[in-house]
Amino acid sequence: MDLKTLKEESIFEVGGENVNYAQYFEGTSYLNMLSLEGVVIGNVTFEPGCRNHWHIHKAEKGGGQILLVTAGRGFYQEWGKPARELKPGDVVNIPAGVKHWHGAAKDSAFQHLAIEVPGEGTSTEWCEPVD
């Protein structure tokens, strides 16, 4: 799926280029924050081949992230485990403290809703780019 088709078929606005987090991505991504109250939800769109760096969602209690895949084809990988292919309808539950990355396949744009699981003392530690 190319980015133009994904944008036309997306049920959520793609949003602007993700310049605030561009340093943590290889390639171009777009971000549309759907909710900043109660539960933080962002619609993240990746151009083909774009992926974020390894990162860890930290929390003293609770926390983590849930990905709801809405369009395209991508991958998710936890440190030390094989990558998992993702397609629309897939759900990824990422506990706090798990080092991971996610992004688009080389030949497809990719989109997911990133839901921040509420917690205490939450933060994100950005690590090295994916090889």
User: How would you write the pLDDT of the chain (131 residues) with one tens digit per residue?
Assistant: 999 999 998 999 999 999 999 999 999 999 999 999 999 999 999 999 999 999 999 999 999 999 999 999 999 999 999 999 999 999 999 999 999 999 999 999 999 999 999 999 999 999 999 98
Cross-strand partners of 66: 93, 115
pLDDT given at position 43? 98
Q: In what order do the strands lie in the sheet with 16-17?
A: 16-17, 29-35, 41-46, 110-116, 65-72, 91-94
Count the alpha carbons within 13 Å of 6 in the hemisphere toward its beta carbon: 28
pLDDT given at position 131? 86
Residues in the chain: 131
